[in-house]
Amino acid sequence: MPKRKPTIANEARIPTMADIARIAGVSASTVSRALAGLPPITEETRQRVAQAAKEAGYAVNRHARSLRLKRSRLMLVLIPNLANPNFPDLLMHIDQAAYDCGYDIMIAHIAVDPHRSDRYVDELLAGSIDGVLLTSNYCPPRILECIAAGRRMPIVRTLSPTPNLDGISGVQIDEVKAAYDVVDHLAKQGYKRIAHLGGPPKEAVAIARKQGWKLALADHGLPSSRDLFIQAGFRIEDGRQAAARISGMPPRPDAIFCSNDESAYGLIAALKEQGLRVPQDIAVAGFDDLSFSNVMDPPLTTVRLPRRDMAELSVRKLKALIEDETENDITVLAHELVVRASSLKT
């Protein structure tokens, strides 16, 4: 067995289609068609080419192919915040669905610098990327311009609903109705002063959830006075900070609907530190059904997002948009109210 020494001479040149052609004794076009399984190639030739490619460790050059085909089989996923567990879970399913569709995904996390997405939009418009998956309400301005100009764009938004924007496909749930369901559940449990811990005021989902809260209270003839709305945010820390304000309220609320699970975690932890019992002294509900909601003490009542379905459907929709001539449309999926101990009357 010859001992191989790493030298420059040893670093074999990366084989190209022409190399495979030479080895198999055919032309490059034949190699291309053989590997792609295209028509006018004998089974025997195909075998020979496949064998040569395998032995040489050959793989098609992604960039050469994309250049020629003007199609990259690349989707870009814009993610606002991976620290929120909603997104990795969604991303996981997006990735799998894209793989199943024959696409690869690039990701761009835009929490630090939203401006960053502009560069990728250029790439989309320049044809370097086939499509974009938005997982938040944010939409790069350049895209809005193009849509306003009536240009058809391979873009799908999911997780966050599209408030007042046409020309972009979407896969979402009825956020207002989902929030309504949570508050309706609390009201039916007999809670009378149901507060709402609001998310970031400009977030579409936060706005919708607040609206659902108001509607449900109105339907139950319960108050939704200003003091029952607590402006917070989506992070654990936001919930934690809100706790002080809540426990100090003169007539304390007997239930709180948090705009997401994470703020509910922080709220519950802080309420307990202040000696309040959940749900005996104050009931809490969240929104998202993250995996930790089930190990919280008490387990958290929340809304389960169909993240997997959202991911799969949005990828398929984007694929259709890229490949066929599907039109833009919005799909609304069903959500599910998950009732756990944090909201139950004892």
Rounded Cα–Cα distance for residues 301 and 283 (Å): 9
Q: Least distance from C-beta 32 to DNA, angstroms?
A: 4
Q: Least distance from C-beta 291 to a second copy, angstroms?
A: 6
User: Could you tell which of DNA, a second copy, none binds residue 251, using a CB distance below 5 to 8 A set by kind?
Assistant: none
Look up residue 44 and give its two tokens: 């025997």
DSSP 153-182: --EEEESS--SS--S-EEEEE-HHHHHHHH
Q: Least distance from C-beta 271 to a second copy, angstroms?
A: 11
User: Could you tell which of DNA, a second copy, none binds residue 55, using a CB distance below 5 to 8 A set by kind?
Assistant: none
Q: Least distance from C-beta 95 to DNA, angstroms?
A: 23
User: Could you tell which of DNA, a second copy, none binds residue 188, using a CB distance below 5 to 8 A set by kind?
Assistant: none
Residue with smaller CB distance to a second copy, 119 or 188: 119
* CA torsion through residues 148, 152, 157, 161, sign: positive
Distant-in-sequence, close-in-space partners of 82: CB < 8 Å, separation ≥ 6: 88, 91, 109, 111
Q: Least distance from C-beta 204 to DNA, angstroms?
A: 35
Residue with smaller CB distance to DNA, 38 or 92: 38
3-state secondary structure of 76: strand
User: Could you tell which of a second copy, DNA, none binds residue 30, using a CB distance below 5 to 8 A set by kind?
Assistant: DNA
Q: Which residues bind a second copy (CB under 8 A)?
A: 4-6, 10-11, 14, 57-64, 66-67, 72, 74, 82-83, 85, 87-89, 91-92, 95-96, 99, 104-109, 111-112, 116, 122-123, 125-129, 149-152, 236, 240, 265-266, 268-269, 272, 291-292, 294-297
Closest among 315, 338, 334 to 158, alpha carbons compared: 315
Segments of the chain assigned E as strands: 74-79, 104-109, 131-134, 155-158, 169-173, 194-198, 229-231, 255-258, 283-285, 302-304, 330-333, 336-338
Look up residue 9 and give its two tokens: 């001479």
Residue with smaller CB distance to a second copy, 4 or 202: 4
Distant-in-sequence, close-in-space partners of 339: CB < 8 Å, separation ≥ 6: 185, 301
User: Could you tell which of DNA, a second copy, none binds residue 227, using a CB distance below 5 to 8 A set by kind?
Assistant: none
Q: Which residues bind DNA (CB under 7 A)?
A: 14, 16-18, 21, 25-30, 32-33, 35-36, 38, 40-42, 44-45, 58, 60-61, 64-65, 67-70, 126-127
Q: What is the DSSP letter of 235?
A: S
